[in-house]
Amino acid sequence: MKTINEIFKNKPELLQQDEVKELLEQFKIQFQAMKMKHSRYWNKVTDLVMNSELFVTKGIACENVVKKINNISFEIDNDDVDI
């Protein structure tokens, strides 16, 4: 994937236009939000798996872990999953 400078190499003056600046800023904001959502998802899944009976004596039953991962994966606003 090209960098911003590579994309605008032939017309660097475009980077000074307000619309382009705004577009780049919005891309950055949306990318960071997506990145955080992805990170939170994997943190939750990892917490569940690491606290399962596969890794912890008397941990969460694997069946329950799979159900909770399913809930995290397919329910849109499911930010509070109990471990």
Is the pLDDT at 6 greater than 70, yes or no? yes
More confident residue, 1 or 17: 17
- Dihedral-angle region of residue 24 (phi above 0 means left; psi in -120 to 50 means alpha; beta otherwise): alpha
Give me the chain's average pLDDT, please. Answer: 91
Number of domains into which the chain is organized:
1
- Rounded (5°) CA angle 10-8-1: 120
Q: Is residue 34 part of a domain?
A: yes
Domain assignment of residue 43, given as a range? 29-76
Q: Is residue 20 part of a domain?
A: no
Q: Is residue 67 part of a domain?
A: yes
Q: Is residue 40 part of a domain?
A: yes
| Residue pLDDT, tens place only, 50-83 | 999 999 999 999 999 999 999 999 985 555 555 5
Position 75 scores a pLDDT of 80
Separation of CA 49 from chain center: 18
Q: Is residue 65 part of a domain?
A: yes
pTM for this predicted structure: 0.69
DSSP letter for 17, please: S
Is the pLDDT at 37 greater than 80, yes or no? yes
